[in-house]
Amino acid sequence: MAKKKQETASLIETFAEFKQNKNIDLTTMVGVLEESFRSVIAKIFGSDENFDVIVNPDKGDCEIYRNRVVVNDDEVEDPNKQISLSEAQKIDATYEVGEDVSEEIHFADFGRRAILTLRQTLASKILELEHDALYNKYKDRVGELITAEVYQTWKSETLLMDEEKNELYLPKSQQIPRDFFHKGDAVTAVIDRVDNTNGNPKIYLSRTSNDFLRRLLENEIPEIADGAIRLCRIARIPGERAKIAVESYDDRIDPVGACVGVRGSRIHGVVRELHNENIDVINFTNNTALFIQRALNPAQVSNVVLHEEERKAEVYLRPAEVSLAIGKGGMNIKLASMLTEYTIDVFREVEGEEMTEDIYLDEFADEIDQWVIDAIKGIGLETAKDVLNAPREMLIEKADLEESTVDEVLRVLRAEFENDAPQAPAAQPTAEAPADANEPAAEPAGEES
């Protein structure tokens, strides 16, 4: 008898150990174990309706009773639910036809295969329980910061473990370019999403999302955390630069000053976590033109013309301010467009000059390779003036041309006009999109992403 109970007792102990490690409550533990026994009993006998399964987690055992009705010896039709009178009287001589017989059975009597099936069923249900617990823990925490330990790094993602040894995934695409992790490192990220495909939850983290920057700022700046300052908009190029727009509900609080702190003391911790990602903080305003001017900081904007239906803006600047507005690699104007949600076209202001004749690029096919002309036209530059008025860096990066190729193109185009005493237009677009051909006061010079 003791040996028969040993098998079921070991199963109870296995489940109790899982319950202790995974913090499963007692009621759930008992329910899962009973369900596992009933599942196997139903496979063996065809039904578990006439069985009583009693789990005793405190004692570490399980009792199983089969209930059958006594019938005459020649009337037994279902041996699982009926017992002959002669068999019943072997248990107790006082049994009569029509009475119920409750007989304890031992799972070990069903053989090794039944024990193995029970173990597999129990393991499967335990895994389901673990998955449900993990999903329920994280499903409502999307957008929260979490710090976890690096367990292993692969080419496409990094595996981290939380305090309860649950697996968390940080994809390479969600890592800041200068991120480099070693096993055991503590990494802070934001919970990006929770997938639960086929009941197998996977928790994905992110260090490149705007929410990551938002949560870091809330941690470092109390006025944002308590709502005195509102973080209105965020634009990021992870690891490089970010722009944030803030406003205060209290006139006594300077939102930009409060966010930056004395000599950048408040925002320094955030910048360090982001591997020196520069953060520009500006005042938010519902005045779109003014907001665009602020977003293009440090450039000083002379004038802004809005096309609200198309969500486009023409920004006019002095020549010396154009490079500041565009920024290195077009980064400043790209972030300004992301922050304001407007496509921004930048124009140079040049006074006292008249229009000069222009020439389409295709006319230079005898001096410039056609594939080079096609690459330049692919970024919106159609004429020689377009190219000459565009920043050299933009031609290299957006048209994906070698520096030597761009320099040769510029040399050829300048040579065409050198004897014509060229006069620049009143306003020359230098970034984002070419100007309207019907506007004689401005000539397009290129696109900036």
Task: Evaluate if residue 351 carries a pLDDT over 70.
Answer: no
pLDDT at residue 210, rounded to an integer: 95
CA distance 260 to 193: 30
Q: Looking at per-residue confidence, does 154 or 349 come out higher?
A: 154
Q: What is the dihedral of CA 355, 379, 446, 373, to 10 degrees?
A: -50
Task: Evaluate if residue 257 carries a pLDDT over 70.
Answer: yes
CA distance 34 to 357: 90
Q: How many CA atoms lie within 13 A of 164 on its CB side?
A: 13
54-60: long-range contacts, CB 8 A cutoff, minimum separation 24: 55/12, 55/30, 56/12, 57/12, 57/16, 57/26, 57/29, 57/30, 57/33, 60/9, 60/12, 60/13, 60/16
CA distance 194 to 175: 17
Task: Evaluate if residue 173 carries a pLDDT over 90.
Answer: yes
- What CATH number belongs to 145-208? 2.40.50.140
pLDDT at residue 224, rounded to an integer: 93
pLDDT at residue 6, rounded to an integer: 56
For residue 148 the two structure tokens come to: 């976890």
CA distance 346 to 291: 15
Mean pLDDT of all residues in the chain? 83
- Residue spans of the domains in the chain: they are 2-136, 145-208, 355-431
pLDDT at residue 214, rounded to an integer: 96
For domain 2-136, the CATH architecture is: 2-Layer Sandwich (3.30)
CA distance 32 to 121: 10
Task: Evaluate if residue 354 carries a pLDDT over 50.
Answer: no
pLDDT at residue 423, rounded to an integer: 43
The 10s digit of each residue's pLDDT in 174-221 is 999 999 999 999 999 999 999 998 888 999 999 999 999 999 999 999
The 10s digit of each residue's pLDDT in 367-386 is 899 999 988 888 878 788 88
pLDDT at residue 237, rounded to an integer: 95
Q: In this predicted structure, which of 250-259, 320-329, 411-420 has the lowest mean pLDDT? A: 411-420
The 10s digit of each residue's pLDDT in 5-36 is 555 555 555 555 555 555 566 777 778 888 88
- What CATH number belongs to 355-431? 1.10.150.20
Task: Evaluate if residue 72 carries a pLDDT over 70.
Answer: yes
CA distance 246 to 224: 9
CA distance 328 to 330: 5
pLDDT at residue 20, rounded to an integer: 57
Task: Evaluate if residue 287 carries a pLDDT over 90.
Answer: yes
What residues have CB less than 8 Å from 438, skipping those under 6 apart? none
The DSSP code for 436 is P
pLDDT at residue 448, rounded to an integer: 40
Q: Residues 270-280: what's their mean pLDDT?
A: 93
User: In a 10 Å sphere around its CB, with 0-12 CB exposed, 13-18 middle and 19+ buried, how is residue 5 labelled?
Assistant: middle
Alpha-carbon distance values, 170 to 152, 212, 213, 359 (Å): 11, 13, 16, 52
